[in-house]
Amino acid sequence: MQNTESGQVPSLLHSILRGYVWMIALLAVGITAVVFTTLRSASRERAMEDLTRSAYALVPAVQSYITDSTSAALNSLVNEVATTMDTRITVINRDGSVVADSEKDPDEMENHRTRIEVIAAFNGVPGRSVRFSKTLGREMLYTAVPVVIGDSITAVVRTSLFFDSYSAALQPIVKEMLLIILTALVVAVISGWIISRRIAGPMSDLASVADRVRRGELGARAAPGHTREHNSLALSLNETLARNENLILDLSRSDSRNRAILESMIEGVAVVNRDGDLLVTNDSFRDLFNTGSSEIKVPAELAELFSQSSLPSSGIVEFEGKIVAFSSAEVSDSGDYVFSFRDVTAEVHLSEMKKDFITNVSHELRTPLTAIKGYAETLQEDASGESSDYLKIILRNTERLIALVKDIQTLSEVESEEGTCRGESVSVSDILDTVLPLFTSRAMDKGITITAEQITPNLTVNADHHRIEQVFVNLIDNAVKYTDSGFIQISAAKKGNQAVFAVSDTGRGIPREAIPRVFERFYVVDRSRSRKMGGTGLGLAITKHIVEGCGGTISVSSTPGQGSTFLFTLPLATS
């Protein structure tokens, strides 16, 4: 296509030269026409003046012949003078009849009274006229002067000349002029070609540089020219080419770097367009899904995922017995999606083994621990002194182990699919009425006031009643444990389609560096105090899993020495 267009469009050199030649040619033709017209007009004017002088020269002789009324003698005179002057002479009488003529018999000639030059002469002024002579069949110049005898004009002397014979003298001049113009035209064309080459040559060089760059020769540069404009254009082009070369090299290096990063990633990475076609994959993806390296094919298991109108941001797919987790993000400027895949088969199996282990161990430990607790309580009824103290230690640690086993089992349940929140309409007031009495005695022993204020009436949430009850128990139990004086306040309010809960206390607070970890398993801020109070370090972890499993969020803010506030949200129940 490029070659076709180049063949159809003329080069800059040809365009400039053609325009220059046309301009010179038109100028030459115009000058020739003007000069020829001017010379012809000047020649005609000179001929008219010569004819007029000749006519006036004949007037005295004609006066004497007109007076003598000898027309034959006058005609003889006219013929003689006309032969000498190479001019036609005609004498016209007052009535318009021809008295004498050097070319024709006067008796055979028509009346000339209406001729323009004759009319002017009879009016007393020299007359002139240029016209085609019907008698002789040639273009002629006519002049007429009056012949005055006494006070009246009695006749007119008219002299005439074939203008073509007179203008024949111009032909050598015209030929020489045409030769000069032709020579000037040739010189002008050669000069134009040279000038056009100087103008179009640098442009052709610049076009050649651009074409070399188009073919991939990024280092091509334009040479300086002979003019300031060409140098400026070459400099700008070279700077642009240098910037483009650097950009292309940077893009190439960036592409190589990104490709190296992509291939070094453990996760499988794939770029998918809007039609679900794979655009880019790395080795990890191809190894994970057993696709060939030479041809990118979409595995059948992923075709359904990629064809969805709204692609999920994360999820799980199964492929040939593997469990693969994925996450995705949209490329905003192209609409493509980037997916990362990771084989989590071993992790899922390990998690299932852990859950099974915890369930079995919890079940196996609970029975003997319950037996130990029962026998220790029985022995304590009859024990005294040191024996009673020993039995109290046994009971306290047994209860701690039972609580730990219970929390581990609960955590395992809420982390499993079976532990997800069971949606039902739960009254917040009913839960608080059930939970708060459990802590009344302990709070009174420590001089703490527990209040439930700012509770929106008839507030209900969509959650699992038992699990949400456990959330309040864990949060209030924590507040009672770590508050030595002051109060514990519980509030609940609507905010949009969420219910927002706050459990605040005036306890010891949590150090800033410990806040990010308070919801981790087995993490306790003060281990000595936790052991003394029988804490397991699992209560807040369980609480976080329950709240998030029910579609809510939980956070904590605290100031050491002033207390803590736990905020969590739950979706409102729909009517």
CA nearest neighbour of 226 among 193, 209, 196, 202: 202
CB 389, CB 396: distance < 8 Å: no
Quote the CA–CA distance of 310 and 300 in Å, as a whole number: 18
Quote the CA–CA distance of 102 and 78 in Å, as a whole number: 6
Q: Which helix (H) or strand (E) element contains residue 535?
A: none
Quote the CA–CA distance of 188 and 210 in Å, as a whole number: 32
Structure tokens at 238: 């070279």
CATH number of this structure's domain 422-571, picked from the four choices 3.40.50.720, 2.160.10.10, 3.40.50.10140, 3.30.565.10: 3.30.565.10
The predicted pLDDT at position 2 comes to 44
The predicted pLDDT at position 569 comes to 93
The predicted pLDDT at position 5 comes to 46
CB 144, CB 124: distance < 8 Å: no
What's the burial of 92, exposed, middle or buried (CB within 10 Å: 0-12/13-18/19+)?
A: buried
CA nearest neighbour of 286 among 347, 341, 338: 341
Domain ranges across the chain: 16-170, 265-343, 348-412, 422-571
CB 324, CB 341: distance < 8 Å: yes
Number of Cβ atoms within 10 Å of the Cβ of 43: 16
Torsion of CA 365, 367, 368, 369, to 10 degrees: 70
3-class secondary-structure state, position 234: helix
CB 177, CB 31: distance < 8 Å: no
The predicted pLDDT at position 528 comes to 54
Asked, colleague to colleague, whether 16-170 and 265-343 share their fold, the answer is yes
Per-residue pLDDT of the chain (575 residues; tens, 9 = 90+): 444 444 466 666 677 777 777 887 788 778 878 877 887 788 778 888 888 888 888 888 888 777 665 577 888 888 888 888 878 889 998 888 888 888 888 888 888 888 888 899 889 899 998 887 666 667 788 899 998 888 888 899 999 887 766 566 667 777 777 788 788 778 877 877 777 777 766 777 777 777 777 777 777 777 776 667 667 777 887 788 888 888 888 888 888 887 888 777 888 888 888 777 888 888 888 888 877 665 566 777 777 788 777 777 788 888 888 888 888 888 877 778 888 888 888 888 887 787 777 777 777 777 787 888 787 888 877 777 778 878 888 887 787 777 777 777 777 777 665 446 677 888 888 899 899 999 988 889 888 999 987 677 788 998 888 888 989 999 998 899 888 889 999 999 888 889 999 999 998 888 888 888 888 877 777 655 555 555 667 888 888 888 888 889 999 999 888 899 999 999 998 86
Long-range pairs of 521-524 with CB within 8 A, sequence gap ≥ 24: 521/411
The predicted pLDDT at position 500 comes to 93
The predicted pLDDT at position 133 comes to 66
E-strand ranges in 112-166 read 127-133, 138-149, 152-162
The predicted pLDDT at position 6 comes to 47
Q: Render 274-288 in DSSP notation, one character per residue.
A: TTS-EEEE-HHHHHH
CB 459, CB 494: distance < 8 Å: yes
Rg of the Cα trace of the chain? Answer: 62
What pTM, to 2 d.p., does this model score? Answer: 0.46
Contacts of 176 (CB under 8 A, 6+ apart): none
The predicted pLDDT at position 223 comes to 74
Residue with tokens 């950009």: 247
Q: Render 393-449 in DSSP notation, one character per residue.
A: HHHHHHHHHHHHHHHHHHHHHHHSGGGS---EEEEHHHHHHHHGGGGHHHHHHHTEE
Sheet holding 554-559, edge to edge: 448-455, 486-495, 498-505, 563-571, 554-559
CATH number of this structure's domain 16-170, picked from the four choices 3.20.20.220, 3.40.50.720, 3.30.450.20, 3.30.70.2740: 3.30.450.20
> What's the CATH fold of domain 265-343?
Beta-Lactamase (3.30.450)
3-class secondary-structure state, position 498: strand
Q: What are the two backbone dihedrals, phi and then psi, of residue 138, each rounded to the nearest 5 degrees?
A: -140, 155
